[in-house]
Amino acid sequence: MDAGVSSRTQRKALSKAKILQRESEREVFRLVGRVLKKPESQRSEEEAAALLLHRDTVEELCKRQVRRNVLKRKQEEVFDGVDELKNKVRQLAVAVKQASHLVVYTGAGISTAASIPDYRGPNGVWTQLQKGRAISSSDLSKAEPTLTHMCIKMLHKEKLVKHVVSQNCDGLHLRSGLPRHALSELHGNMFIEVCTSCSPVREYVRLFDVTERTSLHRHGTGRKCSHCGAELRDTIVHFGERGTLEQPLNWRGATEAAKMADVILCLGSSLKVLKKYTSLWCMNRPASKRPKLYIVNLQWTPKDDLAVLKIHGKCDDVMRLLMEELNLQIPAYNRADDPIFTLATPLQLEEVQSHSREVVAPPNDQNDCSDDPEEQKPTSVQGGWFGRGYGKGRQKKKKVA
């Protein structure tokens, strides 16, 4: 009995000593931190002595500050000057013309012109979550393909681009008219729900965002397969999930395109997620035999050092200049020609009220036919499927001493 009490007493004493040690270390960090914020000329003798006494703490705090400064610089948006931008686009145009198998990787930055926020930009979804701000949920169906989407479609039509690998779930590549066989939507498409009970997997393209009720690890949409009656699921691959659907992810098409690529053009992506997909980068080859990498992004990316050319500019601005250099016309998006209307499967009668999302309507069905240009401006849309279901963004940061 005495031995048991003694053991508990020792454990308690040890635990208390550890707590007191941590508190002491925190107090030292706070003291040194306050002193370091002062200009050297304003520090008292006692404060200078404290810095000498706690040199390890000073060194650690200085390292932390350096890391914060590096991170801050990486998050800053950089813009090339007008002449520098034109010169870089000329170099890109030469690469596009000479490429035998050009593959384009796209990220959220190509859709910001459609009022869809990116992830890591100054007003991006991740940036807002890290600041503790809420991401409101609203409809993305009003968004339409941007100039960049239409340029990519034309480059594919002219056989200059062989394949497009996209991280975006907004469906705008599909709606631009880019053929599905030339597209890999690695993280899914918000307009597509599927029945995985059917073999092969049965696909339903809708005219609205099907992800209204779905989130991380919860993919059921509430609607049923018209063939087998099983619940349909969305195709979105959230952070921390592994995509297994053959379509619209089309991983086979993406990896085959990467193997054959001699030039890769990255548009509007931080590449922080794409860099983890090793099959897209041919890193198992010698550097001289890898595809030449061209990056268009305003912020730093982890692939910058490997790029032949890094262009700091907005995707629409760069693509407009590129099309001029290539002497190609940029097709305008025409809602009447949007492939989604021919691909879409109508809802069953009992499912008409199964969602509250706005439906993408053909031109003759649109209620707003106003000729007032002010009224025709696109409505700003904010986070929908990308503002929810991301465990990483929702977790509270643990306090670190």
Q: Nearest CA to 259 among 240, 285, 232, 223?
A: 285
Are the beta carbons of 258 and 186 closer than 8 angstroms?
no
d(CA 109, CA 161): 19
Scanning 38-117, the segments in alpha helix (DSSP H) are: 45-53, 55-75, 82-98
Give the N- to C-terminal CA distance of the chain in Å, as an integer. Answer: 38
CA-to-CA dists, residue 26 to 22, 46, 48, 57, 343, angstroms:
6, 19, 19, 10, 61
158-184 burial code (b ≥16 CB/10 A, e <16): eebbbbbbbbbbbbbbbbbbbeeebbb
CA-to-CA dists, residue 219 to 166, 206, 286, angstroms:
21, 16, 41
- Within the chain, how many helices (H) and strands (E) appear? 11, 10
Omega cis (within 30) before 39: no
Strands laid side by side in the 202-205 sheet: 202-205, 192-195, 231-234, 220-224
Axis-axis angle for helices 55-75, 2-37 (nearest 10): 60
| Residue 198 in marked binding region | yes
Active site positions, annotated: 187
Are the beta carbons of 101 and 263 closer than 8 angstroms?
yes
Q: Is the dihedral of CA 352, 357, 363, 364 positive or negative?
A: positive
| Residue 228 in marked binding region | yes
| Residue 62 in marked binding region | no
| Residue 169 in marked binding region | no
Are the beta carbons of 66 and 226 closer than 8 angstroms?
no
d(CA 172, CA 169): 8
* Residue 12 CB contacts under 8 Å (≥ 6 apart), including other chains: none
Omega cis (within 30) before 200: yes
d(CA 150, CA 139): 22
Binding residues for Zn(2+): 195, 198, 225, 228
Binding residues: 195, 198, 225, 228
